[in-house]
Chains A and B, each alone.
Chain A
Amino acid sequence: MYRLEYIIRRLIMAIAVLISVSIVTFFIARVVPSDPAAAWVGSHPTEEQVAQARETLGLDRPLYEQYFRYMQGVLHGDLGKSVKTHQPISTDLKTFFPATLELVLVSMLIAIVFGIPLGVFSGAGKGSLLDHTTRLLAIAGVSIPTFWLGLILQLIFFGRLGFLPLNGRISTEIALYDPISQMTGFYLIDSAITGNWVAFKDALLHIILPAFTLATYPLGLTIRMTRSTMIEVLNEKYILAARVAGISERAILFILALKNAIIPTITVLGLSFVYSLTGAILVEVVFSWPGLGTYVTNAVLSIDFPVIVSVTLLVTVFYVFINLFLDLAQAMIDPRVTL
């Protein structure tokens, strides 16, 4: 009963947050820039053109009416048009969002595959050389500018060693001769489903560097979190009992202890997932990755507000839902959670 009340309150809160988020983004888009109508028309507009643009964009109407019209559009999946290209933003997002999502998911996979074992060993051998090294790596991971790390990885693996591509999502030749048929928008999945292994290998080689760059932050967090909860769990009596019973050390660490230590780590992974969605902006610029980040930075340079605001809105909605999901999941697992 109590839990149900918590869930309902949390849902209402999420809806209130979404509404206020839409008001803030609307405000940034329509009120702050000097004149959206002039931006729409382009350079050297005549007064007539601007007046006409004002009417087309609905800028001559009262502010609250503009907001409701804007929201009506958003709820129907219409985010307006880019000021620069006059293309519908929702169409652009359909091609850019999967690219970013694929990059983020691969980097999360890297964080899990490397982060959890490193955290387990580092926690089990508290104070060892491995422990000190991983702690230092973890703090370096949250201090390093990803856009600089990306450049260094390019210099080493493309410039010096030459076995990974410099940037982009797929080679031009592959895109021309073995094109990937678009289904999910995830190149790795689409090429695997259609058995296009040439393209799969190429897409995989392209995603390695940006994904590792983006993974540094979640990797650092995962290691730190797993380490500290492992230290706590390993002091419990049931671990001692397992040792006395002669269960192998590996089984104790990775089955008995990790089972309890993994819950906080999952929360951290969820939080770093949403962090990576925005962290990807910088990494995408370095690797010319055709995703949301490249889209939004180009919009910043051409002062294309509808695009900036739509990307902000999309990612924020994602952000709110993941936070909601994490809170609800935690409430399911841990009955002590309150608002």
Chain B
Amino acid sequence: MTIAVRPDEIGEPSPARLKEYHLMLRAFRRDPLAVVSLVMIIVFILGAIFAPVLTPYPEQGRGEPNILEKFQPPSRVHLLGTDYLGRDVLARILFGARSSLSIGFLVVFIAVAIGIPLGAIAGYYGGLIDDIIMRTTDMFLAFPPLLLAIAIAAALGANFTNAMIAIAFTWWPWYARLVRAQTLSLRKLYFIEAARSIGVSDFTIIIRHILPNVLTPVLVQATMDIGGAILTGAAISFIGLGVQPPAPDWGKMISTGRIYFIERPWFAGSAGAAIFLVTLAFNLLGDAIRDVVDPRTRRAA
């Protein structure tokens, strides 16, 4: 009996797989919503990085009050108006993008960094280790995520790092589960068994052969989660945990602008629009990437 082994089962990039990537890229470019959302994300990232150069009021963006010009409606001098301390709202939005985007990326990064190794170990070894890790994820998933994040952030104290840790704490179990499921199905494939039979160590197998193969689903999930993490981060600082004033932050801008909203909606309104646009862009991008990666939903190229 001969066993047909496809090149990618050995874990090396094959011509077939390269062609696959090429097809994905083409499908992605054909989706206008995906391209628009990618552009939008890049614009926000560049805005955050170059905030001090882009605004004429960098010191106001960082939090310095400018009380003489408070509550100015949008005008040529202040494109999005000024807030209750007279600070330029556009400058606050640009600087606030730094904390919102970094909380989105860092939360997902931490969750992935905890989830991948735990999931891979649980799926690869099975048995008691698997049970312990999976029951721990069950426990964390039993909590409503937002509430657990609020409780942890409150317990650790209100600042940016603690808010980030608190949210990541509620997020990693999903990655552990995802990676475990992928590892379980990979473990049965011939190339893993072959590697084991010629004496490759478990560590090397996990790093060299399992991880590269679980990265695609993790990447898709991560893109979809960044939007959710940004939204949760904004919610946490809206409640009063997370970034503390005078540091710029979108969620905080809404909570301080809330009481003036009926008369002067521009500053809380702009911050909310920023959160909405970024989250929407990441969700649309995640959807598009999932469609492209999953051949069942990919439109005929």
Contacts and interface: CB of A to CB of B under 8 A. Distances in A.
A17 B265 CA distance: 45
Helix, strand, loop or mixed for chain A's interface? helix
Given A21-B142, A144-B276, A159-B262, A139 B283 contact: yes
Given A139-B283, A277-B144, A316-B144, A24 B139 contact: yes
A124 interface: no
A320 interface: yes
A32 B231 contact: no
A42 interface: no
B261 A155 contact: yes
Contacts of B144: 274-275, 277-278, 315-316, 319
Contact of A145 (B139, B145, B152, B235): B235
Interface stretch (A78-86, A92-100, A306-314): A306-314
Interface residues of A, number: 51
A25 B151 contact: yes
B238 interface: yes
Q: Which bucket holds chain B's interface residue count?
A: 35 or more
Contact of B254 (A25, A147, A275, A301): A147
B198 interface: no
Helix, strand, loop or mixed for chain B's interface? helix
B279 A281 contact: no
Given A17-B138, A142-B283, A151-B268, A312 B143 contact: yes
A300 B150 contact: yes
Interface string B259-301: 0011001001101110110011001100100000000000000
Contact of B151 (A147, A274, A309): A309
B170 to A, nearest CB: 11
A219 interface: no
B36 to A, nearest CB: 12
A51 B293 CA distance: 62
Contacts, number: 131
A13 B150 CA distance: 25
Interface in A305-339: 305, 308-309, 311-312, 315-316, 319-320, 323
A17 B139 contact: yes
Nearest to B250: A145
A319 B279 CA distance: 26
A21 B147 contact: no
Contacts of B275: 145, 148
A75 to B, nearest CB: 18
A252 B275 CA distance: 42
B154 A155 contact: no
A8 interface: no
A16 interface: yes
Given A145-B238, A278-B147, A300-B241, 12 more contacts: A25-B151, A144-B276, A147-B254, A148-B271, A148-B272, A274-B144, A301-B240, A305-B155, A308-B154, A315-B147, A319-B142, A319-B143
8 contacts: A18-B142, A140-B276, A145-B254, A151-B269, A166-B262, A277-B144, A282-B238, A297-B240
